[in-house]
Each structure stands twice: as structure tokens, then as C-alpha cells.
């Protein structure tokens, strides 16, 4: 029972984080802009930006834009309540596939390939954008120890000279049925400096709220 309550709380927490950080996200979309009353709020020249660091009440999020789809950022979440020593990797994929069954994958573990490593990422939440012209699909990876994750991440990045996530086919899952762009990559050259800033900001947050 306790595990179930913890699991539900985690899901709700991640949904809140993903929705909140999305509001601060920028996105580049095709030249023909969809008709939407909020379209002027989107920054179409946002490709000039790089890493972003934001502090919230109980957590800090450091994010880097994608190099294929800019608006699909990879986010590193560090929570105060976990002592700022763990990281939750979060990322999004935007899809414009006209698939009304997109919500079927919400809550499922989807097969992905990070560089040469196959694993699964959980679809935490799906949000329609631009009057359902497209959908933002929010993924999460498992919480990890911040130091261990950072070392492994940078070793893999330097070895492959890239950090790429590709959505792949799996059991009862056809990637092309839901996604028109199956891969994105992120430049992590500045990760060591940026994650240190995020860690220190989280520690300051913990001190200021103690």
C-alpha cells in the first residue's frame, strides 16, 4: 500500500514538473504556423539560446535544447528533499503524427536507445499543442545518484561524441505509428559546469527553506 501511494505521488510530481518546465520551453516549428491564440508567445528565434537553469520551490531544473528539435529539451531535475544528491532525467519528443490513439502509450514504458544502450523510458504525460496540431510526449528515466550518473553520462558522451536518444520498435509497439521524428540529440559539452550550478542552487534552496 505504501509503495502504491509513493508511486502515485511520484507520477503526479513528475507531471507537475514536466508541465511547469514546458511553460518555460521554446520551440521551433515549421514555417506555416498553426492558428492558435497563444502563438505569439512562442519564441521562434530561440535557437540562439543554450542551457537554462530554473529554481522552483522544492527542486531545480537544468535543461539543454535538442539539436534536431530545439523545443525538445533534455532536463536534469534535482530535488531538495533528496538532499540534492539524486537526478531525474526528463525529456520530451514532439510529434505531429495525426494519430488519435497517441494517448494509448501514456503510462507505458517505451523502448528507446541512448547511443548504443537499449532501455525503456516511461511516458509520464502527453500534452496536445497548437489545438492538437501536434503532441508533446513527456518521458522520464529512473532516478540516479547524481555523481554516478554524471560520470557515466560524460564517459558515454565522450566515447560516442554524441548524446542521442532514438525511439525504437518493441513488443506491441511500432515507433512510426506515433512519432514522425524518431531521434534527437543534445550537446552535453557544458554538462559538468551546468550540473554543478544546478547542484549548488539546490543546496542554496535547501538552506533558504530550512
- Please give the pLDDT value at position 209: 66
Residue 176 Cα to chain centre, angstroms: 20
- Each as own residue / partner, the long-range contacts of residues 43-46 (CB below 8 Å, 24 or more positions apart, any chain) are 46/70, 46/71
Bin 74: left if φ > 0, else alpha if -120 < ψ < 50, else beta.
beta
Q: What is the pTM of this model?
A: 0.76
Distance, first Cα to last Cα, the chain:
30
Please list, in sequence order, all residues whose beta carbon lies within 8 angstroms of the beta carbon of residue 58, skipping any fewer than 6 positions away: 79, 80, 81, 205
Helix axis angle for 146-160 and 191-208, nearest 10°, is 160
Q: Mind listing the pLDDT tens digit for each residue in 95-131?
A: 998 777 899 999 999 999 999 899 999 999 999 987 7
Highest mean pLDDT among 9-13, 17-21, 33-37, 105-109: 105-109
Amino acid at each position: 500500500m505504501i509503495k502504491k501511494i509513493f508511486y502515485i505521488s511520484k507520477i503526479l510530481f513528475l507531471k507537475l514538473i514536466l508541465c511547469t518546465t514546458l511553460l518555460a520551453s521554446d520551440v521551433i516549428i515549421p514555417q506555416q504556423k498553426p492558428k492558435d491564440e497563444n502563438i505569439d508567445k512562442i519564441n521562434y528565434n530561440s535557437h540562439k539560446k543554450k542551457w537554462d537553469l530554473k529554481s522552483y520551490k522544492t527542486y531545480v531544473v537544468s535543461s539543454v535544447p535538442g539539436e534536431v528539435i530545439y523545443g525538445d529539451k533534455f532536463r536534469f531535475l534535482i530535488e531538495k528533499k533528496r538532499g540534492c544528491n539524486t537526478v531525474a532525467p526528463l525529456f520530451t519528443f514532439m510529434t505531429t503524427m495525426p494519430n488519435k490513439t497517441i494517448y494509448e502509450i501514456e503510462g507505458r514504458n517505451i523502448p528507446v536507445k541512448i547511443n548504443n544502450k537499449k532501455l525503456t523510458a516511461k511516458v509520464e504525460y502527453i500534452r496536445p499543442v497548437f489545438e492538437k496540431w501536434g503532441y508533446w510526449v513527456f518521458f522520464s528515466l529512473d532516478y540516479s545518484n547524481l555523481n554516478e550518473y554524471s560520470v557515466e553520462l560524460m564517459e558515454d558522451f565522450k566515447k560516442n561524441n554524441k548524446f542521442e536518444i532514438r525511439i525504437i520498435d518493441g513488443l506491441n509497439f511500432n515507433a512510426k505509428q506515433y512519432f514522425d521524428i524518431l531521434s534527437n540529440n543534445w550537446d552535453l559539452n557544458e554538462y559538468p559546469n551546468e550540473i554543478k550550478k544546478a547542484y549548488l542552487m539546490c543546496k542554496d534552496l535547501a538552506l533558504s527553506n530550512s
